[in-house]
């Protein structure tokens, strides 16, 4: 059984940066990959970025060039470095397996981009 706990969200001004962390309680090695997802108010949850066990990454067009996903397998932790944040990035961010599993959705971490 794996539990995923997101942290690092907060309020940031447009153009600012945040780094999100996803700590896995239990091994994530069995997962083919990990992903960050987000859900903005009134919208469906969407994929933001993924990383495979081999380190290959993929990004949504809306965050390409601004966000970077990485993982530290020794710490069972996945990160999302977010730069040049925009108001439209405001959402609750979640980590999960890639593809996601219903069993792994956590509470998420709120990111608010506002001046």
| pLDDT confidence of residue 29 | 57
Tokens describing residue 7? 């942290």
pLDDT at 74: 83
> So what's the pLDDT on residue 32?
73
Phi, psi angle pair for 75, to nearest 5°:
-100, 0
Cα separation, 31 vs 41, in Å, equals 29
CB within 8 Å of 84: residues ≥ 6 apart = 15, 17, 66
Count the residues in the chain: 115
pLDDT per residue, tens digit, the chain (115 aa), is 778 999 999 999 999 999 999 998 876 656 779 999 999 999 999 999 999 988 999 999 999 999 999 998 888 899 999 999 999 999 999 999 998 989 889 899 999 999 9
């Amino acid at each position: 059984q794996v539990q995923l706990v997101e942290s690092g969200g907060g309020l940031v001004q447009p153009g600012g940066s945040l780094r999100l962390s996803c700590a896995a309680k239990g091994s994530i090695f069995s997962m083919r990959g990990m992903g960050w997802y987000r859900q903005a108010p009134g919208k469906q949850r969407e994929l933001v970025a993924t990383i495979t066990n081999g380190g290959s990454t993929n990004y949504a067009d809306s965050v390409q060039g601004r966000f970077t996903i990485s993982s530290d397998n020794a710490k069972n932790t996945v990160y999302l470095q977010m730069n040049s944040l925009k108001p439209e990035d405001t959402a609750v961010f979640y980590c999960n397996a890639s593809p996601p599993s219903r069993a792994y959705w956590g509470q998420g971490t709120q990111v608010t981009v506002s001046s």
